[in-house]
Amino acid sequence: MTDLDPYERKILRELQRDASQTTAQIAERVGLSSSPCWRRIDRLEREGYIKRRVAIVDREKVGLNAHVFAQVKLNAHGRANLDEFAAKIREYPEVLDCYVLLGSVDFMVRVVAEDIKAYERFFFEKLSQLPGIQEVTSTVALSEIKATTALPI
């Protein structure tokens, strides 16, 4: 599994809950003094357990009201150039996530846009223009039931 001790697991849970906490606040919550807590956080960052600390922004409050999942199938030529597709998809700020899938489609792409018209422009001007695209099936999310970035540690 991993070489995390119980304190490090608690630290990770706390940071996932609120990364803006001070080391002293985290230490108090996990049952350590500040210095050992800081050393553990430092190790977790150095060893890549903590990739980065970010603010989670409410997409609707910043005007990104359309949330779309696009299933992308590539043709045979496209499958031979997966790196090219991956490099291009990383350039689009509208794309929040992109996963390679096993099954009837090759990729699942999560996209945000101001509205459906903006997604339509993204679809026709960018996504559908990528080399090797055979088919794109877009599914619009109507509402959000659960969304989290916290891993079950």
pLDDT at position 8, please? 98
Close Cβ partners of 81 (under 8 Å, ≥ 6 residues apart): 131, 132
Could you tell me if 66 and 113 are in contact, meaning their C-beta atoms sit under 8 angstroms apart?
yes
Per-residue pLDDT of the chain (153 residues), as tens digits, is: 579 999 999 999 999 999 999 999 999 999 999 999 999 999 999 999 999 999 999 999 999 999 999 999 999 876 777 888 999 999 999 999 999 999 999 999 999 999 999 999 999 999 999 989 999 999 999 999 999 999 999
Domains delineated in the chain: 6-46 (1.10.10.10), 66-140 (3.30.70.920)
| Cα gap 19→14, rounded to integer Å | 7
Read off the pTM: 0.88
